[in-house]
Chains A and B, each alone.
Chain A
Amino acid sequence: DQQVKQNSPSLSVQEGRISILNCDYTNSMFDYFLWYKKYPAEGPTFLISISSIKDKNEDGRFTVFLNKSAKHLSLHIVPSQPGDSAVYFCAAIYGKLTFGQGTILTVHP
């Protein structure tokens, strides 16, 4: 049973526009959420996180939104840059870390 789901396998965006990556979860006990970015031939790297007591967290061009009633998490990247092209994983914690399947983001110049 996939408790954390990223329903869009891929997303293509023009440079300078907004990228919105989405993530849904089923376990209401998750208390912390994270986004990781992964380039080919490298391990995932931590990007941004949010506690379940908040609904928004910003870090530069990256903003994570949490809608607990909808059990939905999203990552906004504004403005998108070609170097943002990577696989993005959302993850949630309740005792242990559970990852989504990943979304491939491609930012075109």
Chain B
Amino acid sequence: AQTVTQSQPEMSVQEAETVTLSCTYDTSESDYYLFWYKQPPSRQMILVIRQEAYKQQNATENRFSVNFQKAAKSFSLKISDSQLGDAAMYFCAIPNIDSGYALNFGKGTSLLVTP
């Protein structure tokens, strides 16, 4: 079974600075995808970024990028030039092949952005 661990319950960053959120996972699959989702105070889950395990290149979406270390089973999210609107819960997730590719989520990291 796939598992996801987020070891930082809370993180804080100043506006315009960079922050990295950690995620480790375990899977027996050889090809898989990993996702980061954002849950702002409205509580709607929003896709931030997706990474395919076979791709060497780390995924990037504007100010969001990942540091994917396949051997270490690590998938961290870097947010550059942090903005007040980035304040949210961030969840790392991996699809579970045994459950119709439903997502197995970590417990989340709460990101606070200070002016």
Instruction: Decide if A and B are genuine partners.
Output: no
Chain B residues near A (Cβ < 8 Å): none
Chain A residues near B (Cβ < 8 Å): none
